[in-house]
Amino acid sequence: MSPRYSMAVDTRRCVGCNACVIACKEENALPPGAFRDWIATETKGVFPHLQQEIRSERCNHCARPPCVRVCPTGASHVNAGGTVLVSPRKCTGCSACITACPYDARFINPKGYADKCTFCLHRVKQGQEPACVASCPTRALAFGDLGDPQSPVARALRARTPKVLKAETGTEPHVFFTR
């Protein structure tokens, strides 16, 4: 059975240190002003009774990705392990996928194509973790095959209550947040 790559972000462990952001930029040689992952800090409540959640966010590699649906050339596609990728040579830079993504996870690379998180598939194929996961100093990020009960992501999701972002959009994200 083919794997279903997923990620779990433990919001109780994440301290928003940006190590994942910098590691991603280094690993993927992203130009200035381009981010495939980022830190979201959400504060809720009424002072002094506030709750804060820090999340390391990225493309959710949705099972029903609207970006792939609207792409007119097939540049946006679902690749190995359910990862949503872009073929730069097929991309026209029309931005339809960017407007279709409810998470604003995509951007236009200065080279002219839509760019986004790849789950570092080039590393994963060599048996390594994605750069963001490998760099996390608090082990807040877990990655692996959701179908393998022994994978770090499956264990992390068993241990805590997971949620996904904007579940109401029906995109079935595969980046989970636990608390």
CB of 91 to another protein, least distance (A): 6
CB of 167 to another protein, least distance (A): 13
CA-closest candidate to residue 105, choices 35, 163, 168, 7: 35
Stretch of 5-13, 69-77, 124-132, 141-149 contacting another protein, by CB under 8 A? 69-77
Asked whether position 91 contacts another protein by CB under 8 A, the answer is yes
CB of 113 to another protein, least distance (A): 6
CB of 141 to another protein, least distance (A): 16
Asked whether position 64 contacts another protein by CB under 8 A, the answer is no
Asked whether position 66 contacts another protein by CB under 8 A, the answer is yes
Binding to another protein in span 124-163, by CB under 8 A: none
CB of 133 to another protein, least distance (A): 19
Residue 41, C-beta contacts closer than 8 angstroms, at least 6 positions apart: 16, 52, 53, 54, 55
* Alpha carbon distance 129, 144 (integer Å): 8
CB burial string 126-148: b at 16+ within 10 A, e below:
eeebbbbbbbbeeebbbbbbbee
Nearer of residues 105 and 153 to another protein, judged by Cβ: 105
Number of H helices, E strands in the chain: 6, 10
Radius of gyration of the chain (CA): 16
Tell me the HSE value of 120 on the side-chain side, using a 13 A CA sphere.
Answer: 26
Task: Pick one of 96, 146, 154, 156: the residue that binds another protein (CB under 8 A).
Answer: 96
User: Residue numbers of the site for another protein (CB under 8 A)?
Assistant: 18, 21, 33-35, 38-46, 57, 66, 69-75, 89-96, 98-102, 104, 106-108, 112-113, 168-169
